[in-house]
Amino acid sequence: MRRRSTAANLPDQMERVVGKNQRSRICFLASLSALFWFLLFYFHFVVLGNGSVDDSGVKLPSSTNPVNNEFIDKFRVSEVRVDTETTMKGLVSKSRVDGVPEVRVGKELNKKDRVKESFQFMKALKTIENKSDPCGGKYIYVHDLPPKFNEDMLKECKSISLWTNMCTFTSNAGLGPPLENVEGVFSNTGWYATNQFAVDVIFNNRMKQYECLTKDSSIAAAVFVPFYAGLEISRYLWGYNISVRDAASLELVDWLAKRPEWSVMGGKDHFLVAGRITWDFRRLSEQDSDWGNKLLFLPAARNMSMLVVESSPWNANDFGIPYPTYFHPAKDADVFNWQDRMRKLDRPWLFSFAGAPRPDNPKSIRGQLIDQCKKSKVCKLLECDFGESKCHSPSSIMQMFQSSLFCLQPQGDSYTRRSAFDSMLAGCIPVFFHPGSAYTQYTWHLPKNYTKYSVFIPEDDIRKRNISIEERLMQISVVDVRIMREDVIGLIPGLIYADPRSRLETLKDAFDVAVQAIIKKVTKLRRDIVEGHTDDNFVEENSWKYELLDEGQREVGAHEWDPFFSKPKDGNADSGDSSAEAAKNSWKNEQRDKS
């Protein structure tokens, strides 16, 4: 799936070639560099001996082994000062807002203190140390965009979608119309018929409730751009030329770049949200026949972080956040009650599936899943195929998930599905078939150890080996199922979007988790800049691997999931469609879903 440019494929091939000899070469290089650094270290500290070396960011490792990676990494820092200065020049000298004097960048800047004073974001960074400020290090500055970038779209909500009356779904602060609890499947309050693409509006309204908003951008840990990027492109996906599709994006980045806040970090502390999949914003060519706009390829957007419900494994400027579910609690107690109920439910079905086959896509395993489900006595199926179906009724779907132990979540047209979040909300353990459906996608919201809360059955086990899902799931002991379900239920608060018109007392919802992650990311970047740390070996193509790294790790290597994310060469890896095709098809399904 998902086409990539030829250039983008190169690292793949290199990786393969490198893969074979990798181990011996790495060993060789490691020992070589170890020797080099040891000699350098020795010369510096023992021969020169006076310790006058500038130590901005360089701390001697506590480890007695001088050749560990951390040591090499940290020591390398002092050798890239030239780069640091270039970066600083770009960041520091441009803007003179707030009377911050233009800083001359030169050799005299090598002193740690002076470096620290010179970045515009130092004031923001320092608020972290202010123990009497509960918002220290957490402030968010929200750009006051012209209304055409957000509010006006809500006023013209009829034009957002050709098939769906989005006015219904932008009501109630983006939650949509309330769901009545007729069948007793939901709770009496907090349930809404939320559209799967409504996160733009929900997130923006949640931001209004954020505890640490500031009007002073100089203390902001991050800058939020309340552009309804998803709603905007929804209007023009079909039948409009590329200049119409790109117009708002171009206007937005033009507006942003003129703001003083932009020059502080070239926009690298900015973030925005689009409740659609990344492929709608990644048009590869300037041809009208190609899909979507080019927002995420604009230089300014490359510096920003865009939160989307499906991110690209190969790009570093987008991040996956959960699709909205139907549950939007207004207080903690509503969540706790829901969790308790999900613990106690009787679940007669071993597994279930709600979805349509993809007969046009020969690589899709959905047909096989549906066959297996039909043949199994312990599987419940909601077919979304033709005509009137229960598959789009929130209560039928939630009812089924609530009566199942496991819920199958194969890819659709793109990697991800809203359904994965609906099923976890129902305490149903998700079964994924592609790591891009969740594990490499929602790394902020889901635990790294996916075996705790889900089952992974690689697509090829179904496609080629025709393994029995029933048998595979039967192998999991009753005790383990209970432990896994408890984990899933424990994840619920962080996967849902609370009612943006009120505030949960203590629980952190999906919004809180995302904002915290953005702040952490920007803060780390600022510290790296201050310390002169650059990730010279960063390869954007490998973005998904970096997201899986443990705290403190910086380098990636070969990964067991490489075949899932490499371009199909023998027709076996991944599924063959282009990103444009995926996006287009998901739009078709949207039409089918909601008409």
Q: How far is the CB of 262 from ligand NAG (least distance, A)?
A: 7
- Rounded to whole angstroms, the Cα distance separating 328 from 500 reads 8
Question: 326, 424 in Cβ contact below 8 A?
Answer: no
- Which residue, 96 or 569, is less far from ligand NAG as judged by CB? 96
Residue closest to ligand NAG when measured from CB atoms: 266
- Which residue, 169 or 351, is less far from ligand NAG as judged by CB? 351
- Cβ atoms within 10 A of the Cβ of 225, count? 25
- Rounded to whole angstroms, the Cα distance separating 574 from 563 reads 7
- Which residue, 112 or 452, is less far from ligand NAG as judged by CB? 452
- Which residue, 281 or 338, is less far from ligand NAG as judged by CB? 281
Q: How far is the CB of 396 from ligand NAG (least distance, A)?
A: 28
- Which residue, 466 or 553, is less far from ligand NAG as judged by CB? 466
Q: How far is the CB of 111 from ligand NAG (least distance, A)?
A: 23
How far apart, in Å, are the Cα atoms of 567 and each of 294, 314, 319, 377, 387? 22, 11, 21, 38, 36
Tallying the residues shown for the chain, one arrives at 595
Largest CA distance in the chain: 82
Cα-flanking dihedrals φ and ψ of residue 547, to 5°?
Answer: -65, -25
The alpha carbon torsion through 128, 130, 133, 137 (nearest 10 deg) reads: -10
Q: How far is the CB of 263 from ligand NAG (least distance, A)?
A: 8
Q: Residue 588 burial (CB < 10 Å; 0-12/13-18/19+)?
A: exposed
- Rounded to whole angstroms, the Cα distance separating 208 from 220 reads 15
- Which residue, 68 or 449, is less far from ligand NAG as judged by CB? 449
Q: How far is the CB of 552 from ligand NAG (least distance, A)?
A: 16
- Rounded to whole angstroms, the Cα distance separating 80 from 355 reads 53
Buried b (16+ CB within 10 A) or exposed e, 454-481: bbbbbbebbbeeeeebbebbeebeeeeb
Q: How far is the CB of 330 from ligand NAG (least distance, A)?
A: 28
Q: Give residues with Cβ within 8 angstroms of 264, minimum separation 6.
A: 91, 95, 120, 121, 217
- Which residue, 383 or 528, is less far from ligand NAG as judged by CB? 528
- Which residue, 268 or 445, is less far from ligand NAG as judged by CB? 268
Question: 349, 379 in Cβ contact below 8 A?
Answer: yes
> 211 in helix, strand or coil?
coil
Q: How far is the CB of 367 from ligand NAG (least distance, A)?
A: 9
How far apart, in Å, are the Cα atoms of 200 and each of 122, 330, 421? 31, 19, 17
Q: What's 573's DSSP letter? A: S
Q: How far is the CB of 501 from ligand NAG (least distance, A)?
A: 27
Name the pairing type of β-strands 140-142 and 213-214. Answer: parallel
- In 166-220, the DSSP E strands lie at 213-214
Strand order in the sheet with 379-383: 379-383, 349-355, 404-409, 429-432, 455-456
How far apart, in Å, are the Cα atoms of 153 and each of 146, 241, 293, 321, 546? 11, 20, 17, 22, 36
Q: How far is the CB of 268 from ligand NAG (least distance, A)?
A: 6
Q: How far is the CB of 160 from ligand NAG (least distance, A)?
A: 17
Q: How far is the CB of 448 from ligand NAG (least distance, A)?
A: 8
- Rounded to whole angstroms, the Cα distance separating 376 from 350 reads 10
- Which residue, 179 or 519, is less far from ligand NAG as judged by CB? 519
Give the up-direction half-sphere exposure of residue 417: CA atoms within 13 A in the CB hemisphere. Answer: 23
Nearest to 309 by CA among 414, 223, 210: 414
- Cβ atoms within 10 A of the Cβ of 104, count? 11
Q: How far is the CB of 189 from ligand NAG (least distance, A)?
A: 35
- Which residue, 241 or 572, is less far from ligand NAG as judged by CB? 241
- Which residue, 157 or 476, is less far from ligand NAG as judged by CB? 476
- Which residue, 468 or 566, is less far from ligand NAG as judged by CB? 468
- Which residue, 201 or 242, is less far from ligand NAG as judged by CB? 242
Interface residue list for ligand NAG (CB under 6 A): 90, 130, 132-133, 241, 243-244, 257, 266-268, 299-300, 303, 449, 451-452, 466, 468
Q: How far is the CB of 30 from ligand NAG (least distance, A)?
A: 24
